[in-house]
Amino acid sequence: MEETLEELSFTLKNTQIRMDREVNQLKQWITTLMMAITKEEETAAELELKARVFHFGEYKGAQEDKLLESLNHKVLDVYRHCVGVQQESNLGTVQMLTIIEHQMDELLENLERVPQVKVEQAEKAKEKERRQRLREEKAKMQKQLQEERLQRAQARAQAEIKKKRGRKLVCRSRPPVLKTKKEPEYELLDKEKEEQLFFFT
C-alpha cells in the first residue's frame, strides 16, 4: 500500500514537473507568436500605406517600376542567402518570399528542438566572433589613421620651405620709467631752519 502511494506521488510529481515545463514552453511560444503578430501587423500597415499611395497615383509609372525592381533585387539577394543559388528558377518576388518564410518557419521549429545549452554555446561563439571582428576593424581603422598621419607628416617634411622676406617685425620697446628725484633729508632740514630764521627773527 505504501509502495503504491509512493509510486503515485512520484508519478504525480513527474507529471506536475512535465506539465509545468510544457506550460512554460507554451507561454514562451505565445509571447513569440504575439511579437511575430505585432511585427506582421506593422508590416501589413506599412504595405497598406504603400498600396494606397500607389493606388492614388502619387507615384508615376517609372518610379513604381524602379521601386518594384529594387524590391525584387533585395528579395532575390535574401533568397540567395537563405535558400541558395541552385534552386533559383526565375521565381516571382511573392514566390521567393513564400519560400523564404517557409524556410524561416522550419528553422524556428528546428531551433526549438535544439537543447538550450547548445543554443547558448552557439550564441556565445557568435558573440565572441562579433567581438573579434570589431577588434579587427578597430585595429584596421587605427592602422589606417596612423598611415594617414605618416603620409601627412611626410608631405609636410617634403614640402618646400617658404622663406620669409623683408624685415622681421619687432615689438616696440617701452619708454623708460621717469624717476622722481628725492631731495635728501638734511637739505629739507636746512630749508626749515632758513624759514624759521627768516620769519621769526
- Residues 1 and 53 reside in one and the same domain: yes
Return the top range by mean pLDDT from 15-24, 153-162, 170-179. Answer: 15-24
- Residues 34 and 70 reside in one and the same domain: no
Distance between start and end Cα atoms, the chain: 152
Q: How many angstroms separate the CA atoms of 146 and 75, rounded? A: 40
- Which residues span the domain enclosing 40? 1-58
The model's pTM is 0.35
Candidates 28, 201, 27, 67; CA nearest to 193 is 201
Q: Report the pLDDT value the prediction gives residue 118, as an integer from 0 to 100.
A: 84
Helices (H), 83-184: 93-113, 116-158
Residue 198 in domain: no
Is 146 a residue whose pLDDT tops 90? yes
pLDDT band (50, 70, 90) for residue 189: low
Query: In the chain, how many domains are there?
Result: 3
Q: Report the pLDDT value the prediction gives residue 57, as an integer from 0 to 100.
A: 57
> 47-77, pLDDT tens digit by residue?
887 777 666 655 566 677 788 888 888 888 8
The last residue of a domain, from among 13, 37, 58: 58
Residue 17 in domain: yes
Residue 189 in domain: no
What percentage of the chain carries pLDDT values higher than 90?
A: 15
